[in-house]
Amino acid sequence: MRCECALRPVRGAGGAATKPIQARSHSVIQPRFELAFLAPRYWGHWIVMLMIAACIILPRRLVLKVGGALGDLFYRSNEKRRKIAEINVQLCFPELSVDQRQRLIRQHYRFYGRALIDYGVLWWGSTARIDSLCTVTGKDILKNLEKAGRPVLLITPHTVGIDMGGALIARLICGVSMMKRARDPLLTWRLWRGRCRFDAIILMRDQGLRRLVKAIRGGRIAYLIPDEDLGDANSLFAPFFDIPTATVPVVGWLAKLTDAAVVPVFTRMLDNGRYVFDIKPPLSGFPLGNEQSDAATVNSVFEAGIRSAPEQALWTFKWFKTRPGTDISPYD
């Protein structure tokens, strides 16, 4: 049965081929609230969530200042993550001076802090509040694909605005996505609950891809963020900023299996705190016939999006941890 859901109104304008990641043989339970979350060890978590929720009532200008200050605090206090960001930016933008790279990283952290504060809006804010903060461009692209009866895969790299983008997708259409379990079970549950708003289906990554394929075939539009380094066992190496990067070839595989159009999307936070969700035209002729070319195409699209707004990328991810032919990582 296909998902009976039309576009909803929203305000605003070189490695060997690998098999797709398989589901584990045991049953996987969706995140759920546990009484253990009320134990003293989690009280700090609840205090932080209450503070984030309280920011909903603050003037937007003050929220941006608080978020920027939070980002500055993260920059100064978490040396490990800052070093990862410095290595990534140096690898991706070797033409920048040291001062230019540091300014980019500081700017990224400020946007990141503001996006964290906006989880209050995403988790507890009204739909009108979310719509008032966002502008969507390219909605006609999805409308035309819907009229043509094409399944759709929306793909995006990890940026500060991916959860706001996910909320907008869920407001626009019947969506499905996947997430990785955090080490902290309370955080996993809270993220999952927030991402399930507006009738979105959020699958856990350890459930494998079978349920995702079923949802796409049933009419759900998938929202995928496939740019993590999952190791060479599940990846092939494709260029990303001219660096051989471990890339999971899942986008090409899903497109071939479901006959879906692959549509790049990018969520960008502006200096004034508003978000722009930009829907790009579908990739032409994709999939291209082999996993290597498909992976290179996806990486090229992501690189172009990041180059257009580099402060938005999540530079604290270990994108280049797995290196071809060696166990040595640039982050060691």
Residue 232 is predicted with a pLDDT of 87
- For tokens 């927030």, name the residue: 194
Q: Pick one of 1.20.140, 3.40.1130, 2.30.30, 1.10.1060 as the CATH number of 40-312.
A: 3.40.1130
262: pLDDT strictly greater than 80: yes
Distance between CA 281 and CA 152 in Å, rounded?
A: 12
26: pLDDT strictly greater than 80: no
Distance between CA 330 and CA 318 in Å, rounded?
A: 9
Environment class of 132 (CB within 10 Å of its CB; exposed 0-12, middle 13-18, buried 19+): middle
Can you give the residue ranges of every domain in the chain? 40-312
CA angle 65/69/71 to nearest 5° reads 120
Residue 13 is predicted with a pLDDT of 40
Extract the tokens encoding 124: 């507890």
Distance between CA 115 and CA 118 in Å, rounded?
A: 5
Distance between CA 31 and CA 298 in Å, rounded?
A: 30
- Which amino acid is present at 73? L
User: pLDDT (tens digit, 9 = 90+) per residue, 181-236?
Assistant: 999 999 999 999 999 988 889 999 888 899 999 999 999 999 999 999 999 888 99
Q: What is the mean pLDDT of residues 291-312?
A: 97
pLDDT above 90 covers what percent of the chain? 83
pLDDT above 70 covers what percent of the chain? 92
